[in-house]
Amino acid sequence: MALQVGIVGLPNVGKSTLFNAVSNSAKAQASNYRFCTIDPNVGLVDVPDERLNKLAELVKPNRIVPTQIEIVDIAGLVRGASKGEGLGNKFLGNIREVDAIIHVIRCFEDENILREEGAINPVSDKEIIDTELQLKDLESVEKKMQKIEKQARVGNDAKAKAEYDVLKRCQEWLMQGKSVRELGLTKEELPAIADLFLLSIKPVLYVANVDEASMLTGNQYSEALQKVADAEKAQMIVLNNSVEAQITELEDADDKLMFLEEYGLTEPGLNRLIRSAYKLLNLRTYFTAGVQEVRAWTIQEGWKAPQAASVIHTDFEKGFIKAEVIAFADYVKHGSEAACRDAGRLRIEGKEYVVADGDVMHFRFNV
């Protein structure tokens, strides 16, 4: 599944540093000047999952393959981006293409790092980005309203009227300075705006980039941002992006463990970030386990067995017959597929089975 999470924020808040820390396959230039990043950098990120490691301990496969998501480092937005300021149209277009947003916000003092917005104010910084996304969305919504208004008002087109009513609600909401993701549109209403690829409807994860002294406890800036995130029912994580980048550069496992211990960390903060981004996209994981490989596969929550099979190969969905399913807890308890089968813990499921997070699966199919 080619799902992307975009890293956004004002210039010089630590976006490219975070991207470099989190990405397995690409590195971005991180410098102290405006628009250091022009074209978006794209990298693949392994999703840490202890269940995969546990299965590998039991099966002892030739290789272990984690699931991945794509992270996109998007250039810093500025005030007026919705009107084209600072190459705004280009950067907003980059955001339009991603599925979710990691919004990096500066929560530390450092006079050596360029800042154009005056005193450190994470809540205000967040609102600057929100406003630009909302203004661009308002423009898109009003254009479509003008296009279908006649059909909705004077015609007998029920579909157009229903779409217009949804667009009107979005317009009024955006004019109040609120993001569409907070409007609470139903599954039936969402198709009315699906073709607009709105920016402010995308789920968001806030990253409070703090100084080293605040990595474990946060600070006054991150606390202020947390209150706003809580009000939105959004996730927020406190990180020091520079330290996370240093952790990533350590190749020796013992050196990495020692480094983590020095900072009082049990794992890299990036692990929490990646898991949160995965959750933000409403994703779930199932596993295949054999001598050749133990592998994690990404699906959307609620997918049925044939859809889940399609991420391995489309033929698996087309020719789906049955799925052999073992719950992860049962696999660990009994220690092998054969033992689970003997204990009656291997189930045969059909086309209507909704795959549970952590299922260990084998598909029967016929092409």
Is 159 known to sit in a ligand binding site? no
Q: Is 119 helix (H, G, I), strand (E, B) or coil?
A: coil
Burial label for 81, CB within 10 Å (0-12, 13-18, 19+), is buried
Structure tokens at 72: 């996109």
Is 282 known to sit in a ligand binding site? no
Is 53 known to sit in a ligand binding site? no
Q: Which residues contact 29 (CB under 8 A, 6 or more apart)?
A: 16, 36, 37
Q: Is 41 helix (H, G, I), strand (E, B) or coil?
A: strand
CA distance 41 to 83: 24
DSSP single-letter state for residue 87: G
Provide the H-helix boundaries in the chain. 15-22, 50-59, 88-96, 122-154, 158-175, 220-232, 241-249, 253-262, 269-280, 305-310, 314-318, 328-334, 337-342
What separation in angstroms does the CA of 231 have from each of 182, 226, 234, 260?
A: 10, 9, 8, 32
Is 147 known to sit in a ligand binding site? no
CA distance 9 to 17: 12
Is 14 known to sit in a ligand binding site? yes
CA distance 228 to 238: 14
- Plot region of 118 (φ>0 → left; ψ -120 to 50 → alpha; else → beta): left
- Choose among 148, 198, 147: nearest CA to 170: 198
CA distance 96 to 88: 12
Q: Is 170 helix (H, G, I), strand (E, B) or coil?
A: helix
CA distance 281 to 229: 17
Is 16 known to sit in a ligand binding site? yes
Annotated binding-site residue numbers: 12-17
Annotated binding-site residue numbers for ATP: 12-17
